[in-house]
Amino acid sequence: MAVSLPNVLVLKPTPFITLLGEQFFASKKFTFLKAYDSPLPLHQFLSTHSHSIKAILSSVGAHVTADILQLLPEVGLVVTTSVGLNQVDVPECRRRGIKLANAGHIFSDDVADLAVGLLIDVLRKVSASDGYLRKGLWATKWDYPLGSKLGCKQVGIVGLGNIGYGVAKRLEAFGCSVSYCSRKRKPFVSYPFYESVSELAANCDVLMICCGLTDQTHHMINKEVLSALGKEGVIVNIGRGAIIDEKEMVRCLVQGEIAGAGLDVFENEPDVPEELFAMDNVVLSPHIAVFTQESFKDLRDLLVGNLEAFFTNKPLLSEYED
């Protein structure tokens, strides 16, 4: 007699699932229910399977709301493909006693690498000079503007968690001076600490956004902060797009009130402000900081490990704590 396996709800396909393909769904210990493959409206699909769904696999853009949870009384775990949980109604999960597991620290090195790469690209004009060469301008004229040295820069990091600290250590190796702003002072570092993001921006050449998106950090990088950063300042964001007031940042870039930006995230993804496309002092990437072969394999192992741990009543591998 066949044993009925517990069901894990997958709300939407993700780049992670697409790139890994069907091998991700090959577990013999639980079954993935793909809501996005069903012809039924989501509400009807969830109602049909309400008592068989024990866990949810969530991703950026696949929101786990109180309304969804209300239809799924048996859910005991939400596991995410991301580090941040701003797509999950965390208070409602806590109220219902639902456990949470995120991507832990497996992306930290990849994101820190890209953050530094974006900064180098902006300062040394790597992408811009690539375009200059491909247009045939190298052979016809020599009027390319000078780049800027990385090693002497004062870099302010917003959010000194695992990613922010990884960025700091990498930039130290380049000879940069690091300071930071975080929810609280970190006792294990000697970098100068600023309680105010505006004060941090006023005392650095580069502002690196490495924090998560919360109600408190939404549009935290506003007109005041960008003005404090100043005309020679560069901003890099590998956190979440809505941490920056995007319209204000675009205005500052257009009017030359800040010197440049390196952006992996945007406020209304996948929509990107068109004004940015023509700017040689702005480097853009499509939210790919975690996209490496190694990190995707590690994420697959972590997701499956968390689900297996949950269904066998063992401690989660990367349980999220507020």
Digit-coded pLDDT (tens) for 245-264: 999 999 999 999 999 999 99
Mean pLDDT of 74-87: 92
57, 215, 227, 232, 277 from 155: Cα distances, Å: 36, 25, 16, 13, 25
Structure tokens at 109: 């090195």
Per-residue pLDDT for 27 more than 90? no
pTM score: 0.88
The catalytically annotated residue of 92, 224, 269, 319 is: 269
Sign, CA dihedral 248-253-257-263, equals positive
pLDDT, tens only, 87-141:
899 999 999 999 999 999 999 999 999 999 999 999 999 999 999 999 999 988 8
Asked whether the beta carbons of 32 and 307 are under 8 A apart, the reply is no
Q: Is 240 known to be catalytic?
A: yes
Asked whether the beta carbons of 112 and 311 are under 8 A apart, the reply is no
The catalytically annotated residue of 105, 124, 218, 287 is: 287
d(CA 140, CA 226): 37
**Superfamily of chain region 7-106+293-311:** NAD(P)-binding Rossmann-like Domain (3.40.50.720)
Listed in sequence order, the residues at least 6 apart from 214 whose beta carbon sits closer than 8 Å to its beta carbon are 86
Per-residue pLDDT for 1 more than 50? no
Asked whether the beta carbons of 193 and 185 are under 8 A apart, the reply is yes
Structure tokens at 238: 């590998």
d(CA 181, CA 197): 6
Per-residue pLDDT for 321 more than 90? no
> Angle formed by the axes of helices 162-173 and 108-124, to 10°?
50
Per-residue pLDDT for 227 more than 70? yes
Listed in sequence order, the residues at least 6 apart from 131 whose beta carbon sits closer than 8 Å to its beta carbon are 280
> Which pLDDT score, from 0 to 100, does residue 22 have?
63
Per-residue pLDDT for 13 more than 60? yes
Asked whether the beta carbons of 260 and 207 are under 8 A apart, the reply is no
Say which residue the tokens 């480097």 belong to: 283
Q: Sheet containing 31-34: give its strands across.
A: 31-34, 7-10, 53-58, 77-80, 99-101
Domain with CATH 3.40.50.720 in the chain: 7-106+293-311, 108-284
pLDDT, tens only, 177-222:
999 999 999 999 999 999 999 999 999 999 999 999 989 999 999 9
Instruction: Give the H or E element holding residue 181.
Output: strand 177-181
Q: Is 183 known to be catalytic?
A: no
E strand segments, 65-124: 77-80, 99-101
pLDDT-above-90 percentage for the chain: 80
Structure tokens at 17: 């699932």
Classified by CATH at the fold level, domain 108-284 comes out as: Rossmann fold (3.40.50)
Asked whether the beta carbons of 282 and 253 are under 8 A apart, the reply is yes
> Which pLDDT score, from 0 to 100, does residue 61 have?
79
d(CA 112, CA 155): 14
Per-residue pLDDT for 2 more than 70? no
Whose CA is closest to 64, among 77, 45, 52? 77
Helix (H, G, I), strand (E, B) or coil at 301: helix
> Which pLDDT score, from 0 to 100, does residue 3 have?
54
The catalytically annotated residue of 170, 240, 246, 248 is: 240
> Which pLDDT score, from 0 to 100, does residue 30 have?
84
Asked whether the beta carbons of 40 and 16 are under 8 A apart, the reply is no
> Which pLDDT score, from 0 to 100, does residue 312 have?
93
> Which pLDDT score, from 0 to 100, does residue 21 have?
63
Mean pLDDT of the chain: 93
| pLDDT interval class at 4 (50, 70, 90) | confident
Of 12 and 281, the one with more pLDDT: 281
Per-residue pLDDT for 84 more than 60? yes
Per-residue pLDDT for 83 more than 90? no
Whose CA is closest to 296, among 107, 111, 78? 107
